[in-house]
Amino acid sequence: MATKKPSKSANGKKASAKEYEIDHQRLESLVNSMADGVLSTNEKGEIVLYNGAALNVLDVNAIQKGDPIENVLKLTNENKEPLDVKRIILNCKTQTISRDYKLVYEDSSVVSIYLSISPVHLGYGKTGESGYVLIIRDITREKSLEEERDEFISVISHELRTPAAITEGAVSNAIFMLEKTGDLEKINDALETAHKQARYLEDMINDLSTLSRAERGVLEKNIEEINAHDFVKQLEDSYKKQAEEKGLELKVDIDPHLSLLKSVRLYVTEIMQNFITNAIKYTEEGSVTIHAKQKDNGVEFAVSDTGIGISKGDQARVFEKFFRAEDFRTRAQNGTGLGLHVTRKLSQLAEAKISLESELNEGSTFRIFFPNLSK
Ligand code: ADP
């Protein structure tokens, strides 16, 4: 502890050496039980006290009392440039908190640090000792979550702005034409554009909401017995019309030995729907086939198409949030770049494994193995 002289007790009497010793031990155990790192220095910035959590944050085994703070706390800025720690601390006149410092460990890994510096008077009156109490905490995880959230918000607002602006433009055009020209064909075109963009916004909001529920792990987890044969037939019924409207043939290839699949129907359905809508969307000619095959302890589904295909480079990226191929044929279709990202999240919840085979201009096959889950 930093104070060496016996202090006065609450009733104003001088504390005995024993009372002082007890106080000292209480304080030491209090400081040691703190989850945050604590470093205390004298007014010259030399260490007088530290706790175990500080050793953890600094990734060292020991600190010598009397060591200059700059030898113990080697802070850098965001660009990993070393900072004059002693000056930063000795210049503090009131409590100062920062979340922007970094520490570079011996193995050159970098952690983000919360640092609170409080100038303190440890004795009474002007002649009493003074110094600084530093609280340090590793906030690397918090920081990376914050960065990811900021990036996500910026991408989402960008993605939402374009369709919202197009919808607004098309509707005000329609109103203008209604008042001025009454040209029904043009009004109809404008409303169709607005309708398409509104549908796109709706898709995006649905994808976002599923994603958020999947990430928070609050989606239902009812494991049920799914009749894989009937399930594929239902998918065929649901998508037959959509495929036919595009001039595509929708086929099914079902293993006659399919047994019941134990999984979460919501996940299996969402995933397969994403694969099928993509296959129809990114295929101009030919067919889309839904496959179901019995495997040990589970069922493997696949959706193959004879569509535009995915280049080798893009195959590694299609499951990323907001990724869409640059290909003009992809861009000609509405899309959010969220479907496959959601699919991957859901597949993790269903403990399923996805694989992708594709050849540019030839077609793609998205394959997924669902294991039987136990209740
Ligand atoms: P979206 O279809 O809304 O753009 P997805 O996350 O579902 O978003 O797909 C991401 C990207 O992967 C698509 O933009 C497209 O580039 C590519 N992709 C997905 N499925 C197929 C497919 N069956 N054929 C070709 N490209 C595909």
Domain with CATH 3.30.565.10 in the chain: 221-375
> Higher-confidence residue: 194 or 122?
194
> Higher-confidence residue: 146 or 7?
146
pLDDT tens per residue across span 63-115:
999 999 999 999 999 888 999 999 999 999 999 999 999 998 888 889 999 99
- In contact, 220 and 346? CB cutoff 8 Å: no
* Helices and strands (H, E) in the chain, number of each type: 11, 13
Q: What are phi and psi of 152, to 5 degrees?
A: -60, -45
Question: Which residue has its alpha carbon closest to ligand 1 atom 2?
Answer: 335
CATH of domain 140-218: 1.10.287.130
In ligand 1, which atom is closest to the CA atom of 324? 14
Q: Which of 199, 312, 318 to mutate to test the pocket of ligand 1 (most atoms within 8 A of CB)?
A: 318
- The alpha carbon of 297 and the centre of ligand 1 are apart by a number of angstroms equal to 29
Question: Which residue has its alpha carbon closest to ligand 1 atom 8?
Answer: 337
Domain with CATH 3.30.450.20 in the chain: 25-138
- Cα distances from 88 to residues 130, 171, 228, 337, in angstroms, run 16, 58, 66, 46
Q: Which CATH architecture has domain 221-375?
A: 2-Layer Sandwich (3.30)
pTM: 0.62
pLDDT of residue 320: 92
pLDDT tens per residue across span 9-21:
555 556 688 888 8
- The alpha carbon of 278 and the centre of ligand 1 are apart by a number of angstroms equal to 6
Mean pLDDT of the 174-190 span: 93
Residues lining ligand 1, judged by CB closer than 6 Å?
274, 278-279, 282, 305, 307-310, 318, 323-325, 330, 335-341, 364
Domain with CATH 1.10.287.130 in the chain: 140-218
* Burial label, 336 (beta-carbon count in 10 A; 0-12, 13-18, 19+): buried
Look at domain 25-138 and name its CATH class: alpha beta
Of 302, 278, 309, 304, residue with least CA distance to 354: 302
> Higher-confidence residue: 28 or 118?
118
Tokens 């590694």 sit at which residue? 316
